[in-house]
Amino acid sequence: MMTTSVQAGAEVRAWMARLGIRQKDLAVALGVSQGPMSDRLRGKTSFSIDELATIAGEFDISLGELLGPHILQARQSPRQDLVSTGAGVGRVGLEPTTKGL
C-alpha cells in the first residue's frame, strides 16, 4: 500500500510535469535545498500542510486539485482496533435521568 507521503509526492511531481516546473525552482519557492525537496517528492519525508499550500499557490491551483481525490478522501487511524470495534466509545452520562417518572 502506498503511503500518503508517497501519494502526495507523486501528485506534486505530476503537477510539476504538467506545468513545466523544475524541482530546483520548487525548492527555492519552499525555501529548502534540493536534497530535502527530493525527499519530499519521493515520499521519504512528508510535506507540511504549509508547504502544500505554498505549492498550490505557486501552481495557481487549489489544495484539493494539488492532492487529488484519493488523498483528500483518505482516512487513516493510528488505532485500527478502536475504529473497527468501536472500543472506547460509550455514553458519558449526559442523558437526563428518568428515575421517578
- Structural domains in the chain, CATH included, are 4-74 (1.10.260.40)
Whose grid coordinates read 491551483?
Answer: 61
The helix-helix angle for 4-19 and 49-59 (nearest 10°) equals 20
Higher-scoring residue by pLDDT: 85, 9: 9
Q: Give the residue with greater pLDDT, 100 vs 26.
A: 26
Residue 1: pLDDT band with limits 50, 70, 90: low
44-67 burial: b if 16+ Cβ within 10 Å, else e: ebbbeeebbebbbebbeeeeeebb
What is the band of 71 on the pLDDT scale with cuts at 50, 70, 90?
Answer: confident
pTM: 0.71
pLDDT band at residue 70 under the 50/70/90 scheme = confident
Predicted confidence at residue 44, as pLDDT, reads 96
